[in-house]
Structure 1
Amino acid sequence: MSNFMILLGKQIEIQISGEDFFEGLLIDFGQDILVLFNGQQFVYIPLLHVHSIKLSDKKNQINDSPTEQSFMEEIEAISYRKVLINAKGLFIEIYATGNISFHGYILNVLNDYLIFYSPVYKIIFIPLNHVKWLTPYNHNVTPYTLDNKALPVKPSNISFSRTLEEQLKKLEGELVVFDGGIDPMKVGLLKEIENNLIELVIANGETVFLKQNHIKSVHLLQ
């Protein structure tokens, strides 16, 4: 990790999974995460999804220094899990799948997934190994300009399990949406989950089997 020291404070270009690119100043790093400042916001990128890092060819494109501190500024050694835990209660944008990013709040961080509250999607389960990046909004921004009274940032009546597979077992017999619902083959009745294999009945009654380790987000249709 000491190799990143030569890039600290410099403008870099990062390619992550999905052919996405980020440009910004490298502000901080840990053994499994990088922190960029893109001129407006801090972007936290887990190294798990980083394909390449190089010095940017666009010299001095980002001239402004951050006017706000990173919320990890006072943490001596940052890590991906510490970032998620310290982001609890902050309004953030988090990206995990396709062309959809979720806007809301981290409620809890469990063994292999996090619980996210979105004013649009409500409770969402996101596997930790599928978070591509997250960025906090400025403190004076609220989701969709909603009043705080319209943002009940608290868990639903569901009791949350330590692992995602255990949590999905509790949802057997419920309507669920995987990966944002873009693919109709990932929306339906969760019949059973066993040994990392999900049995899902879609709208036309057809049964589809999905591998749990490829699921990037889960929310309920209720």
Structure 2
Amino acid sequence: MKQQHPLMNSLIDLDISGKSSTLRGKLVDMGQDILVIHNSQQFVYVPIIHLQQMRAANTQDASNMTFEVPETPFEQANDTISYRKTLMNAKGMFSELYITGNQSIHGYLTSVMNDFFVFYSPVYHSVIVSLTHLKYLIPYSPNVTPYTLTPEQFPLKPSPLTLARTFDQQLRKLVGEFVILDLGENPNKIGVLKNVDQNMVELATAGGNSVYLHLDHVKTIHLP
């Protein structure tokens, strides 16, 4: 049996870590570590770890958002939803991710490891994403492709990286490489990965100075 929440099938507002605007939609499913809303156009999968607040939407504001919800794209009617199961089911499906900053990334989820996954984007190519930093995932309809690119223009490719089981092991494999952390939102997160020592990541920036970051705050890593 699916877990029932008092707000199930109600229109709700969600406040999510790192996102200034509120997410609004009908709560259609909820598990121990992920919930699903439908915003009249798309399903939005939100890991509960980033849920700061969930509340019923103001009925006056929401009066124009009465809609029928289609069947969810992944889970069967009596399946219990989970974060990992959602990621596994999303492999190969064109999706939108929100991780950090003011922009989403679009592409295909290609691999799911112990505590990270690999997302292939026409803009960033293979992006390694920590499981703890995905804010939400939106799967698109099967007939939608990134930027209307044809399969010939944007073929789904396996990651060229040799994948480790864990995020910190993956970073260690990239020591010596020129990398971009957190989608390059900060110039100090672009440079040569010099070392990963316990929970500290050392990066040599453009000026040759070393910057140290705690591993838990590294959201994504990709090669230019």
Identify the TM-score tier after normalising by the shorter chain.
over 0.9
- Counterpart in 1 of 2:160? 157
**Greater CA drift, 14-23 or 211-220:** 14-23
1:54 counterpart letter in structure 2: R
Q: Name the TM-score, length of structure 2 as normaliser.
A: 0.93
For residue 71 of structure 2, what is the amino acid of its counterpart? Answer: Q
**How far apart in 2 are the matches of 1:164 and 1:6?**
36
List structure 1 runs of 4+ shifted beyond 3 angstroms: none
The aligned counterpart of 2:39 is 38
Aligned residues: percent identity?
44
Q: CA deviation at 1:114?
A: 0.5
The Cα offsets for residues 51-98 of structure 1, whole Å up to 9 and x where unpaired, read as 1111110343322213x4212341610001111110000000001111
* SS of residue paired to 1:150: coil
**Counterpart in the other structure of 2:129:** 126
Q: Is the 8 A contact 2:75 2:81 kept in 1?
A: no
Q: What corresponds to 1:104 in structure 2?
A: 107
* Equivalent residues in 2 for 1:1-222, closer than 5 Å: 4-18=4-18, 19-57=20-58, 58-66=61-69, 68-74=70-76, 76-221=79-224
Q: What amino acid does structure 2 have at the position aligned with 1:196?
A: N
Counterpart code for 2:25: G
Q: Letter of the aligned partner of 2:168 in structure 1?
A: E
Unmatched runs of 5 consecutive residues or more in structure 1: none
- 2:3, 2:31 within 8 Å by CA — same for their partners in 1? no
1:135 shift after superposition: 0.3
Contact 2:115–2:166, Cα closer than 8 Å, also in 1: yes
Question: What are the Cα deviations for residues 20-61 of structure 1, in whole angstroms up to 9, with x where unaligned?
Answer: 411110111111111000011000001000011111103433
Shift of 1:3: 8.1
Within 1, Cα distance between the matches of 2:53 and 2:210? 39
Unpaired segments ≥5 residues, structure 2: none
Once residues 114 and 72 of structure 1 are traced to their aligned partners in structure 2, the CA distance between those partners, rounded to angstroms, is 18
User: Separation in 2 of the partners of 1:154 and 1:196?
Assistant: 31
Please state whether the residue corresponding to 2:147 is helix, strand or coil: helix
Q: Write the distance in 2 (CA, Å) between the matches of 1:77 and 1:184.
A: 42
3-state SS of the aligned residue for 2:144?
coil
Kindly state the Cα deviation for residue 158 of structure 1 after the two structures are TM-superposed. Answer: 1.8
Q: Secondary structure at the match of 2:161?
A: coil
Cα separation, 1, equivalents of 2:138 and 2:40: 13
Any idea what SS the aligned residue of 2:152 has?
Answer: helix
Instruction: Write the letter of the residue equivalent to 2:192.
Output: L
Greater alpha carbon shift after TM alignment, 41-50 vs 99-108: 99-108
The CA distance in 1 between the partners of 2:103 and 2:165, in whole Å, is: 26
